[in-house]
Amino acid sequence: MESFKAKILIYFDVEQKNHNKGFFPPNNDDGDILKKPLNSIFVALKGDIQSTPDFDTNVTVSTENNYIILSISGNNVSKFRASLLSFLRLVDLAYSILYIDK
């Protein structure tokens, strides 16, 4: 049986001038400018993954070195593609909110 896998790394370009300043505060207490936005996205994705119906795919989300890692695997190409597109839409929405041009 054929197996399909995808690993997506989510990261932010904090040097970009058009991002939402509220999510990337210039003076963070611990000096880690990525901590707040990465944690927000991680919590949203993890909650969505835990509340979605079973599409015969395995989805995990984790954080590592200022990245969010989204891993998706499955045996049915249609269900795999549906899951992958669903989570990519969530990531796109998160980026759209973070990078609203004021």
User: Pairing relation of β-strands 4-10 and 57-64?
Assistant: unpaired
Domain range enclosing 36: 4-98
C-alpha–C-alpha distance, residues 7 and 95, integer Å? 18
Render pLDDT for 16-26 as a digit per residue (tens, 0 to 9): 555 555 555 55
> Over 80: is that where the pLDDT of 89 sits?
yes
Compute the distance between CA of residue 88 and CA of residue 94 in angstroms, rounded to an integer: 10
CA distance 42 to 61: 7
pTM: 0.63
Question: pLDDT by residue (tens digit) across 36-60?
Answer: 767 777 777 777 776 665 667 888 8
Q: Which CATH number characterizes residue 42's domain?
A: 3.30.310.50
The CA distance from 98 to 24, in Å, is: 9
Residue 98's SS3 state is helix
What total number of domains does the chain contain?
1
